[in-house]
Amino acid sequence: MPPTDPVNPTSPTQSTEPESTRNLSGAALTDAVLASFAHGDSPRFTAIAQSLIQHLHAFLVETRLTEEEWAAAITFLTRVGHITTEQRQEFILLSDVLGASMQVIGTTYPCVNGETESTVFGPFFVAESPHFANGDDIARGAPGEACHMWGVVRSVEGEPIAGARLEIWQADEDGFYDVQYADLAAARGRGHLFADDDGRYAFWTIRPAAYPIPSDGPVGDLLKAARRSPMRPAHVHFKITAPGYRPLITHVFAQDDPYLDTDAVFGVKSSLITPFERHEPGVAPDGRQMATSFYTARYDFTLAPTDAA
């Protein structure tokens, strides 16, 4: 038998070791496998492992999966592993398109105190991004129309969070992140900066564009088989951290994007959508003289304390 509550790490398990693992099939096989995982290193491990086994066996029985289909699934997962590198995380992409990422996020980070909603991490985050001062241009030559983004990082009580660290990354107007270019020597369209004493942040970048998720690998094949669109609406990624506050991983989406309701990774929240306003050549909000048209976008972030429910 499985644990009475697989989500509760203190849930008791009713399984006992079988007398023998011979001649097993059907429910008896499932019971034997459950029993073999009844004495894990921790109650939480036991609960998760047994719940996984229970659901996996039920799926196999319900669909009457054939050996060929099971082999195809294993081959698919093997391909996901082979294409994964430090620059491309195909397993995260798979998790995203299955809705698993957003399900975990919704369970782990429920928005209950007015904090900014979380969304998917995505497969193109890179640690140790370049540092920029507030107001700098993180695009570094990435193709696209100039865009000035700014806002304030606050607590749920409305107090500014001085020194909050903002990690920022995005695709260019052609839909590619810098790490997708084999011949690119330096980062572009990504970096980190710190909010000032009033919690304000600002930077120049390019206006985000809608793009298809990578479809040249096994996840792309999965979407084709399902006849699903690979498109993601235009967005900029943010990861915001500050001592005493829960890390926030989220996006800011462009309000006029046509793919907001058909996001391939189910990551859009209405609260994360903001206008990207177009301006004719002239003086930008930070006083910069712009010889070409440009965009501006404001988004304020709210962080929850580390002890938030």
- pLDDT at 39 exceeding the cut of 60: yes
What are the φ and ψ backbone dihedral angles of 150, each rounded to 5 degrees? -160, 170
Averaged confidence pLDDT in the chain:
92
Q: What burial class does residue 67 get, using C-beta atoms within 10 Å of its C-beta: 0-12 exposed, 13-18 middle, 19+ buried?
A: exposed
Q: How many other C-beta atoms lie within 10 A of the C-beta of residue 55?
A: 12
Quote the CA–CA distance of 239 and 166 in Å, as a whole number. Answer: 6
Angle between helices 43-63 and 26-36 (to 10 degrees): 160
Model-level pTM? 0.87
Query: Cβ neighbours of residue 196 under 8 Å, at least 6 residues apart?
Result: 134, 162
Could you say which architecture CATH assigns to the domain 95-303?
Sandwich (2.60)
Confidence check: pLDDT of 226 > 90: yes
Whether the per-residue pLDDT at 192 is higher than 80: the answer is yes
Digit-coded pLDDT (tens) for 131-168: 999 999 999 999 999 999 999 999 999 999 999 999 99
Q: Give the torsion through C-alpha atoms of 106, 107, 112, 116, to 10 deg.
A: -40
Delimit the domains of the chain by residue range: 1-65, 95-303
* Tokens describing residue 88: 């491309």
**Closest to 301 in 3D by CA, of 163, 117, 109:** 117
As a whole-number percent, the residues of the chain with pLDDT over 70 amount to 93
3-state class (DSSP) for residue 157: coil
C-alpha–C-alpha distance, residues 56 and 28, integer Å: 15
Q: In what helix (H) or strand (E) does residue 294 lie, and over which residues does it extend?
A: strand 294-298
